[in-house]
A and B are shown apart, each in its own frame.
Chain A
Amino acid sequence: MRPRKQAAPFERRNMTLKLIVWRQKNPDEKGQFETYTARNITPDHSFLEMLDVVNEELIREGKNPIAFDHDCREGICGMCSMVVNGIAHGGHERTTVCQLHMRKFKNGDTIYIEPWRARAFPILFDLVTDRSALDKIIEAGGYISCHTGGVPDGNDILISKTAGDYAMDAAQCIGCGACVAACPNGAAMLFTGAKVSHFAALPQGQVEAPERVAAMVKAMQECGFGNCSNHYECEAVCPKGIHTKFISRMNREFLKALFKENTGTFTPSEK
C-alpha cells in the first residue's frame, strides 16, 4: 500500500508589518499619519488583535495607544470601522474588519489605516468617528407606530415568503457606516435605503411608508450626507452584502411619496 501523503505543516511564521495610522487627538485638531511597526503578528490574529498587540507595545513605551471602535469582534455589531489600504473594512468580501485576519497579509506589508471619512461622521479620536448621524436617520422614521398590547397571534398578518425574505435581506444592515465611508459622496443611501425598503416590503410598514421615506431622506440631508451617484462602492464593501436595489426601492418610494398627502409630516404620536 502506498503511504499516505502527509499534508505540509501549516507555516506559522510570525509577521512584521509596517502600519501607517491616522492619529488625531481631538475633533478639532488636524490629524496626521504616523508610522508604527507591528511585530510578532501571527496569521491567526484578527486585524483588531494585531492593533491590540501594537497598542500593548505603545503602552509599554508610555505612548498613547491607537484608539479604535470595536465591540463584539465577531462581525455582527457594526462597531469596528476603519479603512484599510483604501477600502472600508479591508476589502475582504462580506467581512467586517474585526473578522479580517492577518493571514490575508504578507510579512513585510505596509498597511494604511484610516478612519471613516465623511462630513456627517466627524472624527473624534484617531480611528474613532461619531456615527450618531445614522441614529438621527433612524429616529426620523426607522420604526413603525403601533399600539403595544398583548402579543399578536402568529400568522395574524400574512406575509408572503418573497416579501419576508426581501425584508430580511434589507434588515441585515448592522449600521457600521462602511457604505458612507466607501461612497465618494459620503452618502448614506444604502443604509437608509435598506431601512426604508425593509419597512416598505411589510404590511406593518406600508401604512406609514410615504411619510417615513420623506422624513428619513430629509434627516439624511440635514445630517450632511451626499447624494448617490450610482457607483455601487457601498454594496462592494458592505459586510452584510446589502444590495443597491434597496437604494432603487427608496428612490421609488420617495418619488411615489411626492404624489401622496401628508408626506413629510411623520409625527406618529399625534395621529
Chain B
Amino acid sequence: MIGRKALVAATGVVMLLFVLAHSFGALSVFTGPNGINAYAQALQNLGPLLLAFRAVMVFVLILHVTFAIMVTATNWKAKPDRYAVRRTRVATFAGETMLWSGLLLLAFIVCHILQFTLHATPDVVIRIDAQGRLDVFAMMRESLRLAPVSIAYLIAMSALFLHLFHGIQSVSQTIGLLNEKTKPMFQIAGITLSTLLLLGYGTIPLMILAGMGVFGK
C-alpha cells in the first residue's frame, strides 16, 4: 500500500517537472509569434527524441492514474460507512478533492493533446508563418479567443492548482521526507509552485480574451 502510493508520488513529481518545463514553453507566447513559433519548431526538430519523450510521458501518466485509482478504491472499501455528522479539523478542500481534480485534469490533457498536438478539434487554425514554420501563436490566439475554450482552460488550471496545492506537500510525506522542520517548507513550496503555475498558465487565456499585449496587434 505504501509502495503504490510512492509510485503515484514519483510519477507525480515527473509530471510536475514536465508541467514546469511546459509552462516556460507556453509562456514564450508572450514574446510574440517569433518566440513561440521558433520554440515549437525547435521541439519538432528533435524528431524521434520528441516522440520518445511523449511516449514516456503518456506511460508515466497512465501509471499515475492507474495507481491513484487503485489506492482510492482501497480507501473507499476501507471506509464503507460515513459519519452522520462529518467535521474535519485540518483536511483541505484541495486534499479531499484530489481524485476529482485529477480526473478533470485527465480529461483536460486528452482535450489539450487533441487540440494543440493532433489539431483534431474544429477550432484549431493552422497557418504557416513568414519563416515557413507552423504558426503556433496564431493557433493559440484563435482558439483561446473563443470564450468557452478559454473558460475550459481556466477551469483546468484551477484544477491543476488544487491538485498541486495538496500534491506537492503530499509527495514529501509519501516518500518519507517530512518532519516538523521540513513540513512548513514543503507546504510553502506547494502553495508557491501551484500559485505560480496558476498565474502563469492562467494569464495566457485571460490576456488573449482581453486582447492585451502581444495579442492586441
Contact = CB atoms under 8 A, between A and B. Distances in A.
B46 interface: no
B175 A227 contact: no
Nearest to B71: A227
Give the one of A33, A220, A226, A253 with max B CB within 10 A. Answer: A226
Interface stretch (B28-36, B50-58, B79-87, B124-132): B79-87
B217 interface: no
B87 A85 contact: yes
A247 to B, nearest CB: 7
Contacts of A73: none
A176 interface: no
Contacts of B4: 227
B118 interface: no
Contacts of A86: 83-87
B216 interface: no
A248 B176 contact: yes
A251 B179 CA distance: 12
A221 B71 CA distance: 12
Chain B: interface residue count, which band?
Answer: 35 or more
Interface in B149-196: 166, 169-170, 172-180, 183
A120 B77 CA distance: 10
Given A118-B79, A119-B78, A231-B90, A217 B180 contact: no
Contacts of B3: 254-255, 258
A252 B176 contact: yes
A266 interface: no
Interface of A: 20, 33, 83, 85-87, 91, 112, 114, 117-120, 182-187, 217, 220-221, 224-233, 235-237, 243-245, 247-255, 258
Given A231-B95, A248-B178, 7 more contacts: A185-B74, A227-B71, A228-B174, A248-B176, A249-B176, A253-B176, A255-B176
14 contacts: A87-B89, A118-B79, A119-B77, A184-B75, A184-B79, A225-B78, A227-B2, A230-B173, A233-B90, A236-B90, A249-B179, A250-B2, A251-B173, A251-B174
